[in-house]
Amino acid sequence: MKKGRFSRSWRKLLRRRDGTSAIELALILPVIAAMIVPLADLGMAAFTKMEVQNAAQAGADYALKNASGTFNATNIGTAVTSATALSGLTATPTPSESCACVSGTTITDTTAPPCSTGCASGTEGIYVTVGAQASYTPLFPYPTIPGAITFNATSQVRIK
């Protein structure tokens, strides 16, 4: 009799559907997490790249707005690093000023200011080139992605 009761209770237990949703969730949750975490990581890397590009542009904007004074690479570098709250952002390479000839859509670097060579064809102008650099380290190691990714951006503006 004990055997009959046991087998009936066991069969009755197997027919119940009370915890099915919890079991399904437990089975599918690791798969969902395995998809969401890399996507979040990719989003944070894309955000870092955009911030680096925005910082380089902020440095170029600063150089353009303060073009009436003398060229100051330190102040432009400060504008780059303070343009965002991104940690580890640097103004690399150092902001530089150059003379260039513009003919059509091509800019040909000539010399460092003061501009003295003149342009054979086109218009001569003074340009400031600003760079920004930052690294992003993924949350988890991925087989095809290196441990840290360095993002670089450059922005160039004609100031005179």
User: Out of 25-34, 61-70, 76-85, which region has the weakest mean confidence (pLDDT)?
Assistant: 61-70
pLDDT at 1: 46
Instruction: Output the furthest CA–CA distance in the chain (Å, rounded).
Output: 110
Rounded Cα–Cα distance for residues 158 and 126 (Å): 6
Q: H or E element: which one contains 41?
A: helix 20-65
Q: For residue 83, give the nearest of 62, 55, 56, 64 by alpha carbon.
A: 55
Name the token pair of 59.
């440095």
Name the token pair of 4.
């009959």
pTM of the predicted structure, to 2 decimals = 0.75
Banded model confidence at residue 133, pLDDT cuts 50, 70, 90: very high
